[in-house]
Amino acid sequence: MDRLLYESSVSYRGFLIVPFRYATAAGATIYSYGLLCALGYRSRWHRSENPAGLFSSTLAGIGAIAREHLDCYGDILIEVDHFARRYVYCDNLIVVCQIGEKFFYDHYLPTSLEKIAAPRLFGGENECLEWIRRGIDRLQTQRASDTV
């Protein structure tokens, strides 16, 4: 896997369908997908990789496969789009959440559906996003200086 294609992710039935390049065959890219669930580990499909076991040569095709699988076997249905406030910054996925007047975030690296966010509350969405951006920029600067 090169990286998760968060910028092509689709929110559906309380899940985030995250495609990625699985392989290349005869010069064509083959796509697979991973799932995140708004309810986390309360769903058997949270952080699962391609539970349908099917692949596609298009991003739209892999999204359709994932949606069909969730329609048939999805174990939850959430009306509120938990992933509506999702952002991609330097290939990282940031999901901003709000409870009352407070904001927090979930942070996923480009190559893993494992959440790495530290618990912290913010007074607004912009404050939250700026905090994340500074942290990612700082990490990338450290990595760049380590390779020199």
Cα separation, 3 vs 134, in Å, equals 22
Any idea where the domains of the chain sit in the sequence? 6-73, 86-146
Task: Locate all alpha helices (DSSP H) within 23-124, ordered by sequence.
Answer: 59-73
Average pLDDT over residues 52-66: 98
pLDDT in tens, 67-101: 999 999 987 777 789 999 999 999 999 999 998 99
**Residue 42: pLDDT band with limits 50, 70, 90:** confident
Measure the CA dihedral 14/46/44/22, to 10°.
Answer: 110
Q: Name the β-bridge partners of 95.
A: 86, 106
pLDDT at 147: 76
Assess contact for 99 and 139: CB atoms under 8 A.
Answer: no
Measure the CA dihedral 46/51/55/60, to 10°.
Answer: -50
Q: What is the pTM of this model?
A: 0.91
